[in-house]
Structure 1
Amino acid sequence: MTEPPRTAPAPGAVQVPAPWRVRVNTVIGWPLFHALYRLSVIGRNRVPRTGPVVFVGNHVGFLDGPMLPGVAPRPTCVLVKREMFRGLLGRFLRFIGHIPVTRGSGDRAALSAAVAVLHSGGAVGIFPEGTRGRGDVAAVQQGAAWLAQQGGAVVVPVAFLGTRVAGASRNSVPRLRSRVVVEFGHPVTLSADPSLTGRQRLVVATEQVRDALATHVRESQARHQVFLPGDEG
């Protein structure tokens, strides 16, 4: 999402998926990812147990999307590019609570669904860089900050390390039993200076999201000595 709509979508008519359906992500993902990789998941205790949360992750490789709801400590609906919602896979993604989004646009249907989850006290996951890249969070789009503002949510940064190795395709997955780290950071409450216009507050909040996530990723690399592609050594 690059340009959120100027007015908030009304979430009241949107059906929020039942938490038991969203928990399927963890039931399948937690044992699967631990079986396939030397996976370390850190900081789950930092995530608020109740209330709306927007998880923001750096986007390095293909695994980031399914891994976030698979290891998150709370049922999490993730905004996923609409191209994935085809055939049996698409029906399954919808069933377990994920939200199709058209990238590069203010997708009102996706935003309505995500805000409805937050208003119900749930958790939403989004990758604010917009697409897979180096994962260093040099720039982010406004959707994550907008969702947090509209949903009254705190933002929790999530660092993904080892989900793609240097020189590998952005669509690749790491080799089996390689080391992967997912670290949840401390929650961030976005500032809301009443003297600013709504658009100005969004710009400020977006920079807060970028700074919090970039700092968390950088510090996670130093702690765990697992590096982004191009940052090895």
Structure 2
Amino acid sequence: MTDPHLERPRSDQVKGAPRFLLHTLRPLARWVIRRRYDVQVHDAAHVPATGPVIFASNHVGVIDGPLLAIFAPRPAHVLTKIEMFRGFMGRFLWASGQVPLDRFNTDPRAVKTCLKALRDGRVVGIYPEGSRGAGDLERFHRGAAYLALVSGAPVVPVTTLGSREPGGTSGSLPKRGAVVDVVFGEAYRLEAVPWPRTREQVEKASLLLREHMLVQLDRARASTGRELPGPLPPTDVDPDPATGVTDEGAP
């Protein structure tokens, strides 16, 4: 049997994200967070119990990443902007299995680290919107679809509601006692495409994935009775590269 890590792009020589803290800290972290927030996890049965999985989530608040890593049915290596990997926080994020991502430059190490995890049957989390915002998937980057096309892993949409209050800033936290809903949607499956993969293939897959996630977003809003918090204040916009499929005139 061919070693999947030898397929292009190769992932046999990249250092895999650590797993020890990713597994051991989750029960304690859940207990700590639930002392402040009422976190409700919905439709976890949509997440395959084994094999590689990609979580693709909307992004409205600063606690979205920790909530996904801590409360998802399976531990996830979540792509996190490299700006967060500084000092003690950076060492902690890496030790807890999170993957640094340079959003403004091609980052083959981040891609290969994610592929290594997927090829080992683990879970990767990604935010196709890039930076925090309205959470409505108006902007949509290609990373989730690309990883799916390379690995063949199913993409499970995640909708987070309540992690930022209307009018809140990108760094604001919900009030103590707030209900935060994390909703897992129906998996979307793409057939793995052998190397070389074209830009057109990735763009088409990204648009189809976005349409599926929009449907799951609407279902999450309907099932929870919750709404998105709306856009960030005009003066609080995190810079994000204009490389999404919707940045280039796609519907």
TM over 0.5: yes
- The 3-state SS of whatever aligns with 2:83 is helix
RCO greater where, 1 or 2, for CA within 8 Å and sep 6 or more?
A: 1
Q: Which residue of 2 aligns with 1:55?
A: 55
Letter in 1 for 2:10: A
Rounded Cα–Cα distance in structure 1 between residues aligned with 2:216 and 2:104 = 25
Q: Which residue of 2 aligns with 1:3?
A: none
CA RMSD of aligned residues (A): 2.1
Q: May I ask how many residue pairs the two structures share in their alignment?
A: 224
Contact persistence 1:157–1:216 (CA under 8 A): yes
Q: Which residue of 1 aligns with 2:175?
A: 175
Rounded Cα–Cα distance in structure 2 between residues aligned with 1:59 and 1:25 = 23
Rounded Cα–Cα distance in structure 1 between residues aligned with 2:211 and 2:23 = 30
- The 3-state SS of whatever aligns with 2:35 is helix
Asked whether 1:228 is paired with 2:208, we answer no
Contact persistence 1:81–1:102 (CA under 8 A): yes
Contact persistence 2:18–2:95 (CA under 8 A): no
Unaligned runs of 5+ in 2: 1-6, 232-251
Q: Against the structure 1 CA distance between its residues 94 and 193, is the aligned structure 2 distance closer, same or farther, given a 3 Å change threshold?
A: closer
Asked whether 1:164 is paired with 2:185, we answer no
Asked whether 1:121 is paired with 2:136, we answer no
Letter in 2 for 1:134: A
Identity %: 37
Q: Which residue of 1 aligns with 2:136?
A: 136
Deviations 1:43-68 (A, max 9, x none): 11210011111100000000101110
Structure 1 residue 8: Cα displacement: 4.6
Rounded Cα–Cα distance in structure 2 between residues aligned with 1:84 and 1:47 = 28
Rounded Cα–Cα distance in structure 2 between residues aligned with 1:225 and 1:58 = 17
Q: Which residue of 2 aligns with 1:4?
A: none
Deviations 1:87-124 (A, max 9, x none): 11111111111110011332111111111101111000
Contact persistence 2:150–2:193 (CA under 8 A): no
Q: Which residue of 2 aligns with 1:44?
A: 44
Structure 1 residue 192: Cα displacement: 6.3
Rounded Cα–Cα distance in structure 2 between residues aligned with 1:25 and 1:10 = 30
Letter in 2 for 1:139: R
Task: Find runs of 4+ consecutive structure 1 residues off by over 6 angstroms.
Answer: none
Rounded Cα–Cα distance in structure 2 between residues aligned with 1:84 and 1:205 = 29
Q: Which residue of 1 aligns with 2:236?
A: none
Unaligned runs of 5+ in 1: 1-6
Q: Give the alignment of 1:78-227 within 5 angstroms.
A: 78-191=78-191, 198-227=198-227
User: So what's the TM-score if we normalise by structure 2?
Assistant: 0.83
- The 3-state SS of whatever aligns with 2:125 is strand
Letter in 2 for 1:188: Y
Letter in 2 for 1:220: A
- The 3-state SS of whatever aligns with 2:159 is strand
Name the stretch that deviates more: 64-73 or 17-26: 17-26
User: So what's the TM-score if we normalise by structure 1?
Assistant: 0.89
Contact persistence 1:60–1:132 (CA under 8 A): yes
